[in-house]
């Protein structure tokens, strides 16, 4: 959510930003909110005047009563009563218009960074850099579900009977590999100075609307029937929510946290749920990282965050690349975003395994996360990034570490988490 004062003073910049994101249907919202804001400020000015008059007249009544001027005091009381009636009407209008403005402002996209490439959708994202040599072996790599099933590590049929499509049973060494990757990612981030956290896996609606757009919320979140609770789609939601309604001393910044959680997603939309596989599913687990920092430090932290993911994947012998997300591929709250994609030897292309985002002060405005400095209070900047998200990451791991006989090499970095195993073999 952008600053209302900025919108009021720079409507053309806000409109151009909307055009850059190819959301022209939202252009009328700018003029609408400006008009509502003008009315709101009129009501507020009149209400503030009446509040001032009430305080002044109340003192006058006391003075007249002490002087024995009862009739004059009663006349002033009548004046106060008439003002109170109008003030009551104005306070209703203030609340009504304030809510209308807030709802519209939450639909207007954040101002994107000038460095963001302009494009309609993810097909126009721009490759930044590749890390590691993408190799294609001289033998055929099976589909990832087949690899797991051949190793006795995946049971989709039973999961479908229990919960439907989009769920899975991981078994044996594949399940152990999944947990090992999460544990390794946790320790990797702790070694980089992040504080480990296990957050709530459900959040209230106020936090949901504070961390994401309405469109994202509708496409992702599962609502708990009869309660003001949602299952988290990613732990960054409850991690950022941890700071709701807080004033952080500037000397306590940055706040750097890494969190584990299960994630639950409806995956509503064009992509759909896979019938045979674990790439796009309703339930998975993830290690996440978030930063709350000073505005001037967020660009530096942004680069550090995505680099952490790149470094982790390279320690597991997985080639990756980074993609700069174009304007049309950015969610409304994001200022800038980079996707990390892993190499798929089977598909002979890269696919997304993580996303790093700088949200500026958008989430902080919605959740009222402020910083207290010697020069006054200001809104913090928030950032998030995926450390690793198996089982999707397992696809890249299995394909890039597979041998001709179907066995899977375990890189040195992961061997301590796998009980010293150097390979996963069919039993």
Question: Residue 127 forms beta bridges with which residues?
Answer: 323
Tokens standing for residue 111: 């101002």
What pLDDT is recorded for position 17? 98
Q: Which domains does the chain have, with CATH numbers?
A: 4-105 (1.10.287.40), 122-424 (3.30.930.10)
Read off the pLDDT of residues 292-324 as tens digits, 9 standing for 90 and up: 999 999 999 999 999 999 999 999 999 999 999
Question: Residue 320 forms beta bridges with which residues?
Answer: 131, 342
What pLDDT is recorded for position 105? 95
Task: Say if CB 385 and CB 288 are below 8 A apart.
Answer: yes
Mean pLDDT computed over every residue of the chain? 92
Q: 224 by DSSP, 3-state: which?
A: coil
Tokens standing for residue 338: 């980079």
| Residue 85: count of CB within 10 angstroms of its CB | 10
Tokens standing for residue 234: 């990613």
pLDDT for 426 beyond 90? no
Tokens standing for residue 291: 């930063």
Q: Is residue 377 very low, low, confident or very high in pLDDT (cuts 50, 70, 90)? A: very high
Q: Is residue 272 very low, low, confident or very high in pLDDT (cuts 50, 70, 90)? A: low
Lowest mean pLDDT among 46-50, 156-160, 273-277, 307-311: 273-277
Lowest mean pLDDT among 30-34, 87-91, 306-310, 394-398: 87-91
Task: Say if CB 59 and CB 76 are below 8 A apart.
Answer: no
What pLDDT is recorded for position 370? 98
pLDDT for 424 beyond 70? yes
Tokens standing for residue 284: 């998975």
Residue with tokens 């190793």: 151
Question: Residue 358 forms beta bridges with which residues?
Answer: 336, 383
Task: Say if CB 383 and CB 298 are below 8 A apart.
Answer: yes
Average pLDDT over residues 194-206: 96
Between residues 214 and 239, which one has the greater pLDDT? 239
């Amino acid at each position: 959510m952008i600053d209302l004062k900025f919108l009021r003073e720079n409507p053309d910049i806000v409109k151009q930003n909307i055009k850059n994101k190819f959301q022209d249907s939202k252009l009328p919202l700018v003029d609408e909110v400006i008009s509502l804001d003008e009315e709101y400020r009129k009501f507020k000015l009149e209400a503030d005047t009446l509040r001032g008059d009430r305080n002044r007249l109340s003192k006058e009544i006391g003075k007249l009563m002490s002087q024995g001027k009862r009739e004059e005091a009663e006349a002033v009381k009548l004046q106060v009563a008439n003002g109170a009636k109008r003030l009551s009407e104005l306070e209703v209008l203030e609340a009504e218009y304030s809510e209308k403005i807030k709802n519209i402002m939450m639909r207007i996209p954040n101002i994107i960074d000038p460095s963001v490439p302009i494009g309609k959708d993810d097909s126009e994202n721009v490759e930044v850099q590749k890390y590691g040599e993408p190799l294609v072996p001289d033998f055929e790599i099976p589909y990832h579900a087949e690899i797991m099933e051949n190793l006795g590590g995946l049971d989709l049929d039973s999961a479908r009977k229990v919960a439907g499509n989009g769920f899975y049973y991981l078994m044996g060494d594949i399940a152990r590999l999944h947990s090992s990757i999460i544990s390794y990612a946790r320790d990797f981030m702790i070694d980089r100075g992040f504080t480990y956290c296990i957050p709530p896996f459900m959040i209230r609606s106020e936090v949901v609307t504070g961390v994401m757009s309405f469109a994202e919320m509708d496409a992702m979140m599962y609502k708990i029937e009869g309660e003001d609770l949602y299952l988290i789609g990613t732990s960054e939601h409850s991690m950022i929510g941890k700071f709701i309604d807080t004033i952080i001393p500037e000397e306590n910044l940055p706040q750097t946290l890494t969190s584990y959680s299960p994630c639950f997603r409806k995956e509503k939309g064009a992509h759909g749920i896979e019938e045979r596989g674990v790439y796009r599913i309703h339930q998975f687990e993830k290690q996440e990282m978030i930063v709350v920092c000073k505005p001037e430090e967020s660009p530096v932290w942004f680069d550090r965050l995505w680099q952490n993911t790149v470094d982790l994947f390279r320690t597991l012998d997985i080639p990756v690349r980074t993609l700069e997300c174009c304007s049309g591929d950015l969610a409304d709250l994001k200022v800038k975003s980079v996707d990390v994609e892993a190499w798929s030897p089977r598909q002979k292309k890269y696919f997304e395994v993580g996303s790093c985002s700088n949200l500026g002060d958008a989430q902080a405005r919605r959740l009222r996360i402020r910083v207290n400095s010697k020069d006054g209070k200001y809104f913090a900047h928030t950032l998030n990034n995926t450390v690793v998200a198996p089982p999707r990451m397992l696809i890249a791991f299995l394909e890039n570490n597979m041998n001709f006989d179907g066995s899977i090499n375990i890189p040195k970095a992961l061997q301590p988490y796998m009980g010293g195993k150097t390979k996963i073999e069919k039993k």
